[in-house]
Amino acid sequence: MSVFKNILITGASSGIGAALALRYANEGAAYLFLCGRNKDRLENVAEKCRYRGAIVETKVLDVTDQESMKQWIAQCDEKAPLNLVFANAGVSTGEETACNIYNTFSTNIFGVLNTITPAIDIFEKRRDGIKKAIVITASIAGYHGLPACPSYSATKACVKAYGEALRERLKKDGIQVSVVCPGFVRSRITDKNTCPMPFFMEADKAAAIIARRVEKNVGLIVFPWPMRLAVYLLSVLPNCISGLIYGKLPHKV
């Protein structure tokens, strides 16, 4: 059973977000607050969680809307004091057009900020001794700029670095911060991929890994380990060498 009982998850209508909601419902969550942009998919996830005994409230919401996010998170906390917040919503870029690039940066960076900033403010003001945690979904792609997905990898590098810094900054306030960097996990993003996806993982398995490590207060949750090793090595190689390697890898089409 999880120590976290009142949980908020963005991007909960599919992929890792949906799998996390189901995982915590199975582990005895009292309240689940779920948001996403597709009402039908979101309600489908909510019904499955309710069947498992959780009280679930859903909200169709765009995480780039700062004021709406702030109001929603405050309302959720009033109904049931939050102790675990997942900034999970994100998008892939697809074709690197100006419109898609701006949308990727807006969702993957400001969507995260719009989730965790009001949550941190609430946590800092509440001194109830209950364990509190923020979890940011980044990506293994955030370890090094990838020519196959420059905008996506840049946004994930940003939130990875921010989350790692926040972990140390908020430790004194008793607020746990974890950053999740998964490899290829089944989602609406990977469903569109045409490139090879080594060590592909189902979302429920990824959610199990994340939940266990958040429970143990692991700061950087990266999986699968062979991909972590590969991207780490690429990140420390001289650019002239990593560039040669990237040049031989297949790109998305």
SS (H, E, C) the chain: CCCCCEEEECCCCCHHHHHHHHHHHHCCCCEEEEEECCHHHHHHHHHHHHHCCCEEEEEECCCCCHHHHHHHHHHHHHHCCCCEEEECCCCCCCCCCHHHHHHHHHHHHHHHHHHHHHHHHHHHHCCCCCCEEEEEECCHHHHCCCCCCHHHHHHHHHHHHHHHHHHHHHHHHCEEEEEEEECCECCCCHHHCCCCCCCCECHHHHHHHHHHHHHCCCCEEEECHHHHHHHHHHHHCCHHHHHHHHHHCCCCC
Does the domain made of 6-248 have the CATH classification 3.40.50.970?
no
Ordered by start, the domain boundaries in the chain are 6-248
Query: What is the average per-residue pLDDT within 67-90?
Result: 97
Bridge partners for 134 per DSSP: 85, 177
Does 240 have pLDDT greater than 50? yes
pTM, entire model: 0.89
Inter-residue contact 12 to 21 (CB < 8 Å): yes
Residue 251: pLDDT over 60: no
Confidence of residue 8 (pLDDT cuts 50, 70, 90): very high
Question: Shortest CA distance to 73 belongs to which of 5, 129, 123?
Answer: 123
If pLDDT is split at 50, 70 and 90, which confidence band does 213 have? very high
Q: What is the pLDDT of residue 83?
A: 96
Q: What angle do CA 224, 115, 79 make, to 5 degrees?
A: 115
Q: Report whether pLDDT(45) > 90.
A: yes
**Average pLDDT rounded to a whole number, residues 196-221:** 90
Give the whole-number percent of the chain exceeding pLDDT 70: 88
Average pLDDT, the chain: 90
> Could you give the CA distance from residue 62 to residue 170 in angstroms, rounded to a whole number?
27
Q: How many Å is the Cα radius of gyration of the chain? A: 18
Average pLDDT (43-51) is 97
Residue 44 binned pLDDT confidence (cut-offs 50, 70, 90):
very high
pLDDT class of 253 with cuts at 50, 70, 90: very low
Q: How far apart are CA 23 and CA 251, in angstroms?
A: 33
Looking at residues 82-102, what average pLDDT do you find?
Answer: 95
Residue with tokens 């946590």: 123
Confidence of residue 191 (pLDDT cuts 50, 70, 90): low
User: In this model, does residue 106 exceed pLDDT 80?
Assistant: yes
pLDDT of residue 1: 82
- Tell me, rounded to whole angstroms, the distance of Cα 26 from its chain centroid: 20
pLDDT score of 28 more than 80: yes
Buried b (16+ CB within 10 A) or exposed e, 49-87: beebebebbbbebebbeeeebbebbeebbeebbbbbbbb
Dihedral, CA of residue 219, residue 224, residue 228 and residue 231, to nearest 10: -130
Model confidence band, residue 63 (pLDDT cutoffs 50, 70, 90) = very high
Phi, psi of 57 (to 5 degrees): -120, 135
Residue 200 has pLDDT above 80, yes or no: no
Higher pLDDT, 201 or 132: 132
- What pLDDT is recorded for position 237? 66
The rounded distance, in Å, linking the Cα atoms of 192 and 214 is 29
Query: Which one has a higher pLDDT value, 1 or 116?
Result: 116
